[in-house]
Amino acid sequence: MAEQYKTLHSAKYYRDYLKNDIRPDCRQLSAFRPVIINVDSIKTADGSAIVKIGRTTVVCGIKAEICRPKPETPRQGFLVPNVDLPPLCSSKFKSGPPSDQAQVLTQIIADILENSRCINLEQLCIFPDKIAWCLYADIICLDYDGSLIDACALALISCLKVVTLPEVEYDPGLDKQQVNLEKRSPLNISCTFVATTFAIFDDKLILSDPSSEEENLSAGTLTVVTSDEELCYMHKPGGSPLNEEQITKFISICFFKLSVILRNIATY
């Protein structure tokens, strides 16, 4: 009976719950779902991380290849993030080229990466103008249950922290390179970013870390990305207006969440 009511009258179903300050999954309005991070379980990748936020599951794998730097930036390597939303993760997506949503997510993740300046691309250069690393970071969603930006960002940063690259010796005279697979070293990551998503329900109720159902029913969402001390990205699609006070409040919540996550990341 409850299930029929939910399908036919989903907005009202939610409103009845939210009136009592509780969500259908038994969370408080401002509660986050538990986060699980698992790193380096995929040995074929140079670094990998699996992140679960509630039921949302995202895997990120980084594979390094060798390439030539761009002539305009001879001292830099590449970091190429791509988000994939395969039909496997939800019935919303169909097979074929990336959906609009996947393209938007890819761009958001690329922007966050650039704004946060967490990785200096110069460390990916092996010899200026000749040879550099190209890191392909592929982020794949395995289970789509909302707050995907949070999960993707967390997977990417966790993955970057565990990537190791083999040592390369380059002889500019002979234009020959040799890779020493035995000796691997990690990257230098200068900061950690954490994304936090809120859904704005009925113009006034704020739900933290929304599930996909909550995202669908809400008029808009707000995603704030913070890195160590600063704000590095904010994204607010949708119509519900917010005032300055509310936004400042969200940002402070994000910093709190960042500190919690940082403590957890530090343990591996």
Partner 1 sequence: MPIDHKRINGPEESVPYELFARLSGITSEKTFEETQSANIRTDGRKFDEQRKIFLKNGVVSQAKGSAYMEMGQTKVMVSVFDPREIPNRSDYSLKGEIYCEFKFAPFSCPKRRLHQQDNEEKQYSSIMKKALESTVCLHELPNFQVDIYALVLHNDGSALSAAINAAGVALAEAGVPIYDIVASVTVGVQQGINFLDPTLSEEQMCQTQLTTEKFPNPNHAVVIISKLPMQQQLCQFHQTGYMSLDQLKSALELLTKTCETIVPLVQKCLLSLVTNSIKP
Partner 2 sequence: MKVDHLICLPGERLSICNKTYTSGQGTYERQGYIYSTLAGIVDVVDKDGVKVIEVHSSGQQTIIPTQGDIVTAQVYIITQQYAKCFIKCIGNTVLRNPFKAVVRRENVRATEKDKVEIYKSFRPGDIILARVLPITEAHMYQLSTAENELGVVIAHSEHGYPMVPISWTEMQCPKSLVKEPRKVAKSTKKKYKFEK
Contact positions toward partner 1, by CB under 8 A? Answer: 41-45, 48, 55, 57, 59, 61-70, 78, 80-82, 84, 86-91, 95, 97-98, 102-103, 106-107, 110, 134, 136, 138, 140, 142-145, 166, 168, 177-181, 212
DSSP per residue, the chain: -HHHHHHHSHHHHHHHHHHTT--TTS--TTPPPPEEEEES--TTSSEEEEEEETTEEEEEEEEEEEEPPPTTSTT--EEEEEEE--GGG-TT--SSSPPHHHHHHHHHHHHHHHHHT-B-GGGGEEETTTEEEEEEEEEEEEE--S-HHHHHHHHHHHHHHH-EEEEEEEETTTTEEEEEEEEEEE--B---EEEEEEEEETTTEEEES--HHHHHHSSEEEEEEEETTEEEEEE--BS----HHHHHHHHHHHHHHHHHHHHHHTT-
Residue 84 interacts with, from partner 2, partner 1, none (CB under 5-8 Å by kind): partner 1
Query: For the chain, how far is it from start to end, CA to CA, in angstroms?
Result: 45
Does 20 interact with partner 2 (rule: CB under 8 A)? Answer: no
Smallest separation, CB 8 to partner 2 (Å): 5
Does 95 interact with partner 2 (rule: CB under 8 A)? Answer: no
Residue 20 interacts with, from partner 1, partner 2, none (CB under 5-8 Å by kind): none
Smallest separation, CB 145 to partner 2 (Å): 14
Which residues sit opposite 81 in a β-bridge?
Answer: 137
Pick the closer one to partner 2 by CB: 213 or 228. 213
Residue 267 interacts with, from partner 1, partner 2, none (CB under 5-8 Å by kind): none
Smallest separation, CB 114 to partner 1 (Å): 11
| Binders of partner 2 in range 55-94 (CB under 8 A) | 91
Does 3 interact with partner 2 (rule: CB under 8 A)? Answer: yes
Interacting residue with partner 2 among 9, 68, 70, 75 (CB under 8 A): 9
Residue 152 interacts with, from partner 1, partner 2, none (CB under 5-8 Å by kind): none
Pick the closer one to partner 1 by CB: 102 or 206. 102
Q: Which residues contact partner 2 (rule: CB under 8 A)? A: 1, 3-9, 12, 16, 91
